[in-house]
Amino acid sequence: MINKDMTIYEALQVKPGCEEVLFSFGMHCLGCAIAREETLAEAAAVHQIDIDALIEALENFGA
């Protein structure tokens, strides 16, 4: 289950291939060092993304 307190890296481990969802929301820095430390909520805030919409899209990926 994906949640806003997970790091980007953790989300990628839970939902392999979900990079396309993150890219579609404008999050293109998945390979950077920050991805291992920054939570989805922190990244969403920086990119001005609705965290609830992001979590829903990640949860629905591959369903």
* Number of Cα atoms under 13 Å in the Cβ half of residue 4: 12
Q: Count of CB atoms within 10 A of residue 52's CB?
A: 10
pTM value > 0.75 = yes
pLDDT of residue 40: 95
Q: In this structure, what token pair is assigned to residue 6?
A: 């997970």
Residue 20 confidence (pLDDT) above 90: yes
What 8-state DSSP symbol labels residue 6?
A: S
Binning pLDDT at 50, 70 and 90, where does residue 25 land?
A: very high
Checking if the pLDDT of 34 tops 80, the result is: no
